Amino acid sequence: MTTYDEETRDMNEPVSEDSTELGSLDASLAVGVAPKKQLGFGFWLSTFWVVLITLLAVLAPILPIKDPTENYIITETTENLRGDLVEKPVQPPYSLDGNHWMGTDKDARDMLSRSIFGARISLAVGFITALFGLLVGGALGMLAGYFKGWADKIISSIFIISLSFPGLILAILVVALLDRSLWTVSITIGVLAVAPVGRLARAQTITFAEREFVIAAEALGAKRSRIIVREMLPNVLIPMATLSMLVVAIAIVAEGALAFLGLSVQKSATWGKLILIGSDINTLESAPWIAFGPIIFLFFTVASLNYMSDRLRDFYDVRDAYDLYD
Amino acid sequence: MKRLLGLGLLLTVISMITFAAMNLLGDPLFNILGPVAEDVDNPDSVKLIEEAKEQYYLDKSLPERYVRWAGDFVTGDFGVRFSATGQPPVTDLIKERFPRTLQLMLMAQLIAVGLAIPWAVNAASRANSKTDKASTVTAFAFVSLPNFALAIILFYVFSIRLDWTPDVYTATDPFWGFTHDHKLMQMLLPALTLGMGSAAGYQRLLRTDLITTLQQDFILMARSKGVSRRKVLYKHALRPSLFSLITLAAINIGYLIGGALVVETFFRIPGLGTAVVEAVLREDFPVVLAIVMIVATAFLVFNYLADLLYGVIDPRVREKENYKESIFCSWKRRVEPVDATVEAPT
């Protein structure tokens, strides 16, 4: 009976603001009344972590942390065979203690400050990649979506080719053949980000191109460049910004994978490289903290960026082809 | 038919790009001959260089070499390796390594789907409950954990601390069995690494689709007819919800192969993943090219198959001839127009 009542009410009365079509469903299946949209505590926690790690990375050289290249050898006083007291260095790696919060590696270097300095490269790769993907992919996608016709055909086929390429293989190929500088690595991963970002930009542009405000601008005689920059761009930018957070996360992971294969930024230790150093079986058995420290940093950063992107996507109600890119 | 032509064209373009990129960016001669290749003043070396060039067809122009390679490739001959001896031929290498990667992929997909379906059904049937929220958080954690990190964690826990799984992969061991000397156990952790990451992605997608399906009238009808809850979930609701999962599982092949590079390297499984990493480092281009082509073909073919499978699962699709706009409709399918609720910023 209840169901009947609710249905008649739904049909006859105007639906009030807070009731949704889900309200009349079987309680075990219903999603419940959708709460008012908000980003939630988790989002701000994630933002806090990302801002914190970015600040730490940027300010690392002036922060009062240990030097990541210094060997903090601990010595202990022991008796030698003749009974004299001598200072003898203790074999590193050292476990976690008050002095080294995340322990040290085999050269007695502080893992905490090495992880923070590693964040500099990992985050730089992430942000450069996202910026490149956003600029190039966004521009191409908007052009394709707005002008349609042959421009769309060409650009869309470029996207399709790029999406069917085995990405990581391409990345290791380019990095191995060119060089292992920060820019090569970032731009290589950035090129792989162009297609997913571009497809989103294209889809968005196509929907917005039919909206009234664009038609109005066209009717008023606005130039195409003006329509693209002033009318379309602000609308396409929001979903692209949420996607670009995901791109940062994926780029950090991709860089980690490259580093893990021994093919990333050569001179500095990124998170991936730190994990690689700690990942051989003997090190893992005797000193697991060498690998697990950077893993925790990497995990929290990637999870935060993923979560922020996901929340923002819900918040702005953008449905799209996100998960195709990984 | 048109779609198959499209696939062929796409593969041709991919092979051209890879072929050109490798030959323009790299110097294969150095890897065949070693330091001799750069010693152009010595007449003996020059002679060696000339011989090698002739042997590996490096004296021909790029398009000519491409045509020669492509002709061989379609007949199943992947050419000789760019190494000092050129042995074993690429085809043999692939034959040796491919089954291992295939086993790994199959195990990973089985684990992923096997975990994802009950997980998603469980979560969707209790949508927004505490169980559901906990499983969403778990799924999020697995999605965010890169596979090299997951590999290390699993290896540390199950191989080093608990010693349930073996440390090393031995190619000569038999497959089926449950001791440290069987490949099934040796491949369990690598497959689990790849599978768990994918399972989380599948779960999130399937859960969303299931929730949509569960709100439809025929579910209510089935329940009121007295069909058991379990049967409704697994029989009535699951089948129409599988569409996106099939697409994702097909697209995920690309991700799994990318993951296989890392996972095979970490667990030291001599499969295609390790082969391509080794080949890239040695600039052994024919091997890289062959593997790129295998991967791209697998990826595209599985996408194609996924579309065919739609018809098997949902008879409605079979009837609609124009359901597919192009060969890439499976990707387009998920790009839906954005709701008109997105407001322009003021």
What confidence tens digit (pLDDT) does each residue in B161-182 have? 787 777 777 766 676 666 666 7
Q: Which contiguous run of DSSP H or E holds residue A282? A: helix A281-286
| Range in A2-6, A45-49, B15-19 with the lowest mean pLDDT | A2-6
A81, pLDDT greater than 80: no
Mean pLDDT of A244-248: 88
Tell which A residues from 258 to 297 touch B, by Cβ distance under 8 Å: 260-261, 272, 275, 278-279, 281, 284-285, 288, 291-292, 295
B30, pLDDT greater than 60: yes
Q: Concatenated DSSP letters for B267-330?
A: HT--SHHHHHHHHHHHT-HHHHHHHHHHHHHHHHHHHHHHHHHHHHH-HHHHH-GGG-SSTTHH
pLDDT at A301: 92
In angstroms, the CA A136 to CA B238 distance is 40
Considering A61-70, B32-41, B150-159, the range whose residues carry the highest mean pLDDT is: B150-159
A306 vs B140, B223, B299: nearest CB: B140
Q: A78 - beta bridge partners?
A: A86
* Residues in chain A within 8 Å Cβ distance of B141: 299, 303
Mean pLDDT of B229-250: 80
pLDDT at A211: 81
pLDDT band per the 50, 70, 90 thresholds, residue B284: confident
Mean pLDDT of A127-134: 91
In angstroms, the CA A125 to CA A263 distance is 14
Tell me if A166 and B292 make a contact (CB, 8 A cut-off): yes
**Beta carbon pairs, A and B, within 8 Å:** 186
pLDDT at A136: 93
Nearest CA in chain A to B213: A29
| Range in A15-19, A155-159, B141-145 with the lowest mean pLDDT | A15-19
pLDDT band per the 50, 70, 90 thresholds, residue B38: low
Quote the minimal CA–CA distance from A77 to chain B in Å. 33
Mean pLDDT of B82-91: 70
Which has more confidence, B22 or B37? B22
8 Å CB contact between B65 and B28: no
Q: What is the DSSP letter of A89?
A: E
Which has more confidence, A16 or B277? B277
Quote the minimal CA–CA distance from A321 to chain B in Å. 5
Tell me whether the omega of the peptide bond preceding residue B43 falls within 30 degrees of 0, making it cis: no
User: Tokens standing for A316?
Assistant: 């702005």
Quote the minimal CA–CA distance from B40 to chain A in Å. 22
A296, pLDDT greater than 60: yes
Touching check for A84 and chain B: CB below 8 Å?
no
| Closest among A288, A291, A289, A256 to A270, alpha carbons compared | A256
What are the pLDDT digits (tens) for B148-164? Answer: 888 888 888 888 878 77
* Residues in chain B within 8 Å Cβ distance of A199: 335
In angstroms, the CA A275 to CA B282 distance is 24
In angstroms, the CA A273 to CA A146 distance is 43
pLDDT at A101: 74
Quote the minimal CA–CA distance from A78 to chain B in Å. 33
B76, pLDDT greater than 80: no
pLDDT at A35: 55
Mean pLDDT of B262-289: 84
| Range in A18-32, A154-168, A240-254, A271-285 with the lowest mean pLDDT | A18-32
How much is the mean pLDDT over chain B?
76
Three-state DSSP state, A231? helix
Q: Which contiguous run of DSSP H or E holds residue B257? A: helix B238-267
Considering A172-176, B42-46, B341-345, the range whose residues carry the highest mean pLDDT is: A172-176
pLDDT at B54: 67
B52, pLDDT greater than 60: yes
Nearest CA in chain B to A202: B335
* Residues in chain B within 8 Å Cβ distance of A261: 261-262, 265, 277
pLDDT band per the 50, 70, 90 thresholds, residue B87: low
Which has more confidence, A6 or A218? A218
pLDDT at B326: 37
Tell me if A317 and B338 make a contact (CB, 8 A cut-off): yes
pLDDT at B338: 41
In angstroms, the CA A53 to CA A207 distance is 37
* Residues in chain B within 8 Å Cβ distance of A30: 127, 215
pLDDT at B59: 66
**Residue B206 falls in which region: left (phi positive, over 0), alpha (psi -120 to 50) or beta:** alpha
> For B322-325, which contacts have Cβ atoms below 8 Å and span 24 or more sequence positions?
B324/B3
Tell me if B258 and A30 make a contact (CB, 8 A cut-off): no
Tell me if B296 and A323 make a contact (CB, 8 A cut-off): no
A275 vs B152, B155, B219: nearest CB: B152
In angstroms, the CA B81 to CA B283 distance is 10
Tell me if B146 and A253 make a contact (CB, 8 A cut-off): yes
pLDDT at B83: 66
Considering A36-40, A102-106, B168-172, the range whose residues carry the highest mean pLDDT is: A102-106
Quote the minimal CA–CA distance from A299 to chain B in Å. 6
B314, pLDDT greater than 70: no
Helix, strand and coil content of chain B, in percent to the nearest 5, comes to: 75, 0, 25
pLDDT at A34: 53
CATH topology of domain B94-318: MetI-like fold (1.10.3720)
Mean pLDDT of B229-249: 80
> Domain locations in chain B?
2-77, 94-318
Within chain A, strands assigned E span 75-79, 85-89
Mean pLDDT of A284-299: 86
Mean pLDDT of A112-122: 86
8 Å CB contact between B180 and B166: yes
pLDDT at A10: 42
User: Tokens standing for B18?
Assistant: 């890879």
Mean pLDDT of A281-297: 84
| Range in A168-172, A178-182, A279-283, B319-323 with the lowest mean pLDDT | B319-323
In angstroms, the CA A90 to CA A104 distance is 12
